[in-house]
Structure 1
Amino acid sequence: MNNEVVLTCAVTGAGDTTGKSPHVPVTPKAIAEAAIEAARAGAAIVHLHARDPETGQGSRDPKLFKEIVDRVRDSGTDVVINLTAGMGGDWISDPANPAMPGPGTDMIGPEARLAHVEECRPDICSLDCGTLNFSDTDMIYISTPPTLRRMAALVQEWGVKPELEVFDLGHIRFAKAMIAEGLIDAPPMFQLCLGIPWGADQDVETMVAMKSQLPEGASWASFGIGRGQMPMAAAAVALGGNVRVGLEDNIYLDRGVLATNGQLVTRAREIIERMGARLLTPKEARAKLNLRGAEG
């Protein structure tokens, strides 16, 4: 069991959730306020996406990310900032010509995927460690080995810690290859992503299997989606890991009751503390994860 837990809140994501809950933040101001709310409730890390303020759709505009990050930093709230670097890999095949990209495709190179990370220089950014059927549609999320190696090299150069998001065992296998190649600094930081169609399922057996393949000394967290969010949080703590909750992965507090990010963090905190563990502060999390500025 993990008695000292790093709790992350993923506050908005890029999914089609804005029409399902009024609590999903959209504008940079609202996303920053949600991050601050989560930090005050006990989250040591906030995982941030940006959304187009007009459409609510996920955006990779560096200006939007910069505004969000500046608002959080200028608030004086101590929290570790983790930016997504997962956008720019969406391929949707054209039904009329499957060899060609269809409407909604957003495929860019590694430097462009990291433009906002270079601009904002967060503590952490995500690194989705492989390709995946990400829905029941013709959309495929594509991250090839050359792209991932280049992204890992860039964030290593900038002093940004990559959060190695793994959606199945093959992703862990490739992440370990990058570690062996010296592209990932110790200790590596993994996020076991469970319940996403069509990656690893969200159950304890799957979490155990994925944990068993992690390299020695790795730090890891896990999350489930929807109704699996809190059960997977408890399982992660019991198995020695850290926890992620938030509206990116689940919009409900209870059946039929829409949540805020602060409420989800509070619920997770209650579970963790009832298990006999405690939440680490942002300063303690920086030290545990060997983040830039940990010595301060």
Structure 2
Amino acid sequence: MNRNVILTCAVTGAGDTTGKNPNVPITPKQIANDCIAAAKAGASVAHIHVRDPETGGISHSLEHFREVMTRVREADADIVMNITAGGGGDWIPDTEDPTRGGPGTDIQTPAQRHAPVGELLPELCTLDCGSLNFGDMVYVNTADWLREHARLVQAAGVKPELECFDLGHVWFARQLQQEGLIDGDPLYQLCLGIPWGAEADPETMLAMRNKLPGRAHWAAFGIGRHQMPMLAQAMLLGGHARVGLEDNLYLERGVMATNGQLVEKAATLIDNLGARIMSPAETRTQLKLRDPNTGTIVTGGDA
């Protein structure tokens, strides 16, 4: 069991959730405020996407990311920042011509996906490690695109969080490490419960964990009603965890959540299991991340 937990709050995501829960943050100010609320509730890491402030839909705007980062860094609450680099992979075949992308398709090159990370240099960024049927669309991450993207992240000196939505993604993430494209001890995020990837159950989490390389740091999350059970399961198997409105909209059945409330609920569960949440400073030391104030890598061994 892991008794020192890095707890991530994924505050908004890019899914069609803003009409389902009014607490999902949309504008850069709202997203930043939710990162700050998560920090004050005890989260170690804030994982961010940005949205179009007018529509609530997908956005890749560098300026939106910059505003979020600036607002959080200027706040009186410390938190490790993790920018998504997984946008721009949505493919929905056109009904008239399936060789072309239809409405909702959103494809970016690796360089375009990397742009906010390379410009803003957060401590962490996501690197999704494969393609899959993501609900009713295809999420596209070809092997050569991922190699190119990994090189860009490596050159920027940002630590990638290797997001794995299925067992084959763990295999490919190990391949990136073997090819020298992942520096230091790798950080994995096991993403469970998203149709039609890895299921959110103990057997699947254990199978994926058992395929991780030595000295890997890892976390896991489940979506919807699986969020808190998968948090507990990850802890019991030695991992870290993630909560937040990107993955789950409810505090309990019929009760809409806020990000702060989900972090507080997670903190209570972690405490009841006899563990504690690691501070942002401890997280930077544990994962050997860049200090946002000095720009140097924080070292000091395992916390």
Q: Equivalent residues in 2 for 1:14-163 (5 A)?
A: 14-135=14-135, 137=136, 139-163=137-161
Identity of aligned residues (%): 59
State TM-score, norm by structure 2: 0.95
Partner of 1:231: 229
**Deviation digits for residues 224-268 of structure 1, max 9, x if unmatched?**
011100000000000000010000000100110111101100111
Q: Secondary structure at the match of 2:54?
A: coil
Q: Which residue of 1 aligns with 2:165?
A: 167
Offset at residue 208 of structure 1 (A): 0.4
> What secondary structure sits across from 2:43 in the alignment?
coil
SS in 2 for 1:24: coil
> Aligned partners of 1:231, 1:73: CA distance in 2, in Å?
32
- Give the Å deviation of 1:295: 4.0
In 2, the alpha carbon distance for the partners of 1:11 and 1:68 equals: 12
Give unpaired runs (5+ residues) of structure 1.
none
Partner of 1:271: 269
Q: 2:98 is paired with a residue of what secondary structure? A: strand
Partner of 1:2: 2
Q: Deviations over 1:157-186 (max 9, x none)?
A: 111110000011110000000001110012
Which moves more between the two structures, 75-84 or 42-51?
75-84
Partner secondary structure for residue 189 of structure 2 = strand
* Runs of 4+ deviating beyond 6 Å: none
- Matched residues in 2 for 1:216 and 1:252: separation? 35
Distance in 2 between residues matched to 1:219 and 1:17, nearest whole Å: 30
User: What do you get for the CA RMSD once the two structures are aligned?
Assistant: 1.0
- Paired position in structure 1 for 2:295: none
Letter in 1 for 2:62: P
Structure 2: distance between partners of 1:206 and 1:102: 33
**What is the rounded CA distance, in whole Å, between the counterparts of 1:52 and 1:102 in structure 2?**
20
Cα distance, 1:95 vs. partner?
1.2
Partner Cα separation in structure 1 for residue 94 and residue 16 of structure 2? 21
Counterpart residue type for residue 101 of structure 2 = P
Structure 2 CA distance, aligned partners of 1:206 and 1:278?
25
Residues 295 and 215 from structure 1, CA distance in 2 versus in 1: closer, same or farther, beyond 3 angstroms? Answer: closer
Quote the Cα distance in structure 2 between the aligned partners of 1:215 and 1:25: 36
String of CA shifts for 1:127-157, please: whole Å, max 9, x gaps. 110001101x2x2110111111111111111
1: CA distance, partners of 2:254 / 2:103: 34
Partner of 1:251: 249
CA distance in 1, matches of 2:76, 2:149: 30
Alpha-carbon separation, structure 2, partners of 1:285 and 1:175: 22
Alpha-carbon offset, residue 118 of structure 1? 1.4
Which whole-Å CA distance do the structure 2 matches of 1:153 and 1:20 have between them? 37
Aligned residue pair count = 294
Stretch deviating more after TM superposition (235-244 or 95-104): 95-104
Output the CA distance in 1 between the equivalents of 2:107 and 2:51: 18
CA displacement at 1:77 relative to structure 2: 2.1
Q: d(CA) in 2 for partners of 1:186 and 1:276?
A: 29
What TM-score comes out, normalization by structure 1 length? 0.98
CA distance in 2 between partners of 1:295 and 1:40 (Å) = 25
